[in-house]
Structure 1
Amino acid sequence: MNNLEKKFLYVLSIIFSFRMFGVFMILPVLSNYGMSFNGANSFLIGISIGIYGVTQSIFQIPFGLLSDKYGRKNIIIIGFLLIIIGSFICGIFNNIWIIILGRAIQGMGAISSVIMALITDLTSEKNRIKSMAFIGSSFGITFALSIIFGPILAINFGIKSIFWITLFLSILSIFLILFIIPSSNKTNNKNIKTFKNAFTSIFNNKFIMYINLSIFFLHSILISNFIVFPFLISNAGCSLKNHWKVYFLSILISLLILSILFSFFKFNYSKNINKKLYFFISMLLISEIFLLFNSKNIYISYIGIQMFFLGFSALEVILPACISKIAPLKYKGTAMGIYSTSQFFGVAFGGLIGGLLFYNKNDFLVFLFLILIILIWIYITFSYKNNF
């Protein structure tokens, strides 16, 4: 990878991290601190989390298609402007319904797939997998930091501080896009026929569709868990101001274990991928079983949370790398759009179902439902094994 490619990759990784930092900081705090909003209850909190995924899902594919036609930078800037508007609304108002509106507008800034597509545009084909692996690593670090800093910010400065930080980071990202990142000249799909060809090519690829389904399941599980985790940790005897320590320790151990696994056992995206998927999906299943029978025991709860973070972090790196490798080059933006749409459909589904099941603070129902989801995921993985 030459110096120019490295520069663009590092800057776009920072922009991607800024984008995701605001998304994830809110997860561990909205269930608890969001109850202070006027008219809030557990179900509406679930909607405020899930609505973000709904609008993300709606706009991911159109933004991917538009970026193929009108250029990545233009669409990314429009996306960040929407995030700024939504963050401003959430920062100003204190009514849960207006917060839901602001979160919906935030979600309309559906640019994750466009950023990933721009990265593939600005790096050579031989360095594309390395680039996606780097993005996956930066995603993992961003996820870890946001889950840790979200509770710290909320306890010291209030939940609104997270919305203002998201707004500031979005403004900073626009400046980076405008003045550092060049325009991509790889905008191929310019008519309805090629749009149709893009969808046909992607939807006919069974492995790509399996990966899209997998990221849907993964983020459904993530969001449903984070509706329950704050209450679970509190009920196990950990005060709100110490929640970040639980997340910090869990994430740190997960990153250390994954670093060892990926360093000593070279990850090959085309060899035995089904076994790797079985392993980490099964880890999620075991984690939910531990959480189902936690009996308000901090140690059992921690084991479950630890295993969840380990399985989630691994799959969050593996799945997008697989998409980057196998998606058709000229339809990369569309492929990433469909992938991100599936991801945020998972956010929407997990937020809505998790909030509904947890309406009466019944964590047993949430974990039981997630166990069912993972069993379905394992069955589908087994069914697709000949397509890996």
Structure 2
Amino acid sequence: MNSTERRALAGLASLYVFRMLGLFMVLPVLSLYGSDYTGSTPALLGLALGAYGLSQAILQIPLGVLSDRWGRKPVIFLGLAVFAIGSVVAATSESVFGLIGGRILQGAGAIAAATMALAADLTRDENRGKAMAIIGASIGVAFVLAVVLGPLLANLGGLSAIFWLTALLALLGILLVWRLVPNPPVQIRRGPVSGDFARVLSNASVWRLVCGVFFLHLLLTALFIPLPLLLVEQLQLPSADHWKLYAPLLLGTFVVMVPLMRMAEKRQQVPAAMRLALLGLVFGGVALMPSTQGGWIVACLALFFLAFNLLEALLPAQLTREAPAECRGAASGLYATCQFLGAFAGGSLGGLLYGQGGAGSVATFVLGVLVLWSISWWQLRGIRVPVASN
């Protein structure tokens, strides 16, 4: 990579870390601290957890397309400003409905598609797969940091401390993109967009990838409805000490994931690696089963997080190889829409199921989703994987 590509990747990967912290830090603590809000119920807390994903899902495609027309950076600046405002609303809310409103407003700053497309604009074709893998890995880094920092911050200042930090990170993100990330060399298109979507929607491989990220984030969000409470009840681990479990567990799985990802790319075995990771996600449901006790819960979580981080890194890299360059923003918008729609569905359905039948119901739901995903995705063919360059 040349200096411009490295500079762009450093800035955009950091932006992804800042941005995704706002989503992930809430995951391990909302079910523990959400009862402090007036009117809270398991179902409403699940809705609050997933509400961010709903507004993200609605706006990713429109803002992705607008980034093809107006430019990537203006859309990113606007989205980060809206995200900061939503964070302030959530931080100052005392009722669960104010929390839900703040989360919806946070999600309205839907810049994932524009950011992914900007990264593709600023890298050459032979380096694009590596660039997208780095950005995908940065989401894994954000996840690791979030589940460690979330319990620590919530113990110090409740959920409001998390939301104040996410507002600050959004403002820092604006400064980061403005000062560090180069302007894209591509010319903004202003023609009709119908052809863009026709080409994206007719690509079966793209559909497999966007359905994959939908299911992936559905499972993650649903898992974190009962998981924090399960750690308190089954492992006798106080909420303030959850980071002591998450930190070594996630750092260890992340360290293992990176060479696995590179090996899959180098040997052109990315589809096989994805199918193997799909099997690993099964252990997330197993961890929630009443029969799973003690250290087996930790072992199952390790396998689940390893599979999650591997898919989180591989899926966006493959998407940019499949999407036509001139409508990459639209394709990235579809991908991000499905990603955050999955987070909304997982939080909402997970909260309802947990309120009705406890962790066992969520475990059954997770395993059922994986069966559906496997049926729709097992024959993963037609994905182009270029020979990795040194």
TM-score computed with the length of structure 2 as normaliser: 0.94
Shift of 1:148: 0.6
CA offset digits 1:310-334 (Å, max 9, x no partner): 1111111111111022211111111
Shift of 1:287: 3.7
Aligned equivalent of 1:289 = 286
- CA gap of 1:75–1:386, structure 2 versus 1, over 3 A, is closer
- CA gap of 1:151–1:294, structure 2 versus 1, over 3 A, is farther
CA offset digits 1:314-373 (Å, max 9, x no partner): 111111111022211111111111000010110011011001001146000001011000
Aligned equivalent of 1:326 = 322
CA offset digits 1:154-190 (Å, max 9, x no partner): 1122211110001111111112222333433425442
Moved more, 271-280 or 364-373: 271-280
Secondary structure in 1 matching 2:275: helix
Query: 2:227–2:288: 8 Å Cα contact kept in structure 1?
Result: no
Counterpart residue identity of residue 69, structure 2: K
Aligned equivalent of 2:372 = 376
Aligned equivalent of 1:254 = 253
Secondary structure in 2 matching 1:110: coil
CA offset digits 1:229-282 (Å, max 9, x no partner): 10110111111111111211221221122234245x35248x444322221111
Of 266, 271, 275 in structure 1, the residue corresponding to residue 272 of structure 2 is 275
Query: Could you tell me how far apart the structure 2 residues matched to 1:187 and 1:108 are?
Result: 26
Residue 312 of structure 2 is aligned to residue 316 of structure 1: yes
Shift of 1:291: 2.8
- CA gap of 1:287–1:47, structure 2 versus 1, over 3 A, is closer
Query: 1:291–1:300: 8 Å Cα contact kept in structure 2?
Result: no
Moved more, 239-248 or 171-180: 171-180
Counterpart residue identity of residue 50, structure 2: G
Residue 68 of structure 2 is aligned to residue 68 of structure 1: yes
Moved more, 355-364 or 329-338: 355-364
Secondary structure in 1 matching 2:362: helix
Residue 135 of structure 2 is aligned to residue 135 of structure 1: yes
The alignment yields a C-alpha RMSD, in angstroms, of: 1.6
Query: 2:217–2:342: 8 Å Cα contact kept in structure 1?
Result: yes
Shift of 1:141: 1.3
Query: Could you tell me how far apart the structure 1 residues matched to 2:103 and 2:196 are?
Result: 30
Aligned equivalent of 2:198 = 200
- CA gap of 1:221–1:177, structure 2 versus 1, over 3 A, is same
Residue 108 of structure 2 is aligned to residue 105 of structure 1: no
> What does residue range 1-388 of structure 1 map to in structure 2 within 5 Å?
1-192=1-192, 195-236=193-234, 237-262=236-261, 265-268=263-266, 271-295=268-292, 297-360=293-356, 362-382=358-378, 384-388=379-383
Shift of 1:197: 0.9
Query: 1:140–1:313: 8 Å Cα contact kept in structure 2?
Result: yes
Counterpart residue identity of residue 363, structure 2: F
Query: Could you tell me how far apart the structure 2 residues matched to 1:333 and 1:378 are?
Result: 28
CA offset digits 1:52-99 (Å, max 9, x no partner): 111000000000000000011110011011101101111112111011
Secondary structure in 2 matching 1:358: helix
Query: 1:68–1:187: 8 Å Cα contact kept in structure 2?
Result: no
- CA gap of 1:290–1:171, structure 2 versus 1, over 3 A, is closer
**Unpaired runs of 5+ in structure 2?**
384-390
Query: Could you tell me how far apart the structure 1 residues matched to 2:257 and 2:334 are?
Result: 27
Query: Could you tell me how far apart the structure 2 residues matched to 1:48 and 1:286 are?
Result: 26
Instruction: Spell out structure 1 runs of 4+ moving beyond 6 A.
Output: none
Query: Could you tell me how far apart the structure 2 residues matched to 1:8 and 1:272 are?
Result: 28
- CA gap of 1:170–1:287, structure 2 versus 1, over 3 A, is closer
Query: Could you tell me how far apart the structure 2 residues matched to 1:156 and 1:360 are?
Result: 31
TM-score computed with the length of structure 1 as normaliser: 0.94
State the identity as a percent.
Answer: 33
Query: Could you tell me how far apart the structure 1 residues matched to 2:357 and 2:302 are?
Result: 22
Counterpart residue identity of residue 222, structure 1: L
Aligned equivalent of 2:387 = none
Figure out how many residues of one structure are paired with residues of the other and give that number.
382
Query: 1:56–1:107: 8 Å Cα contact kept in structure 2?
Result: yes
Counterpart residue identity of residue 38, structure 1: T
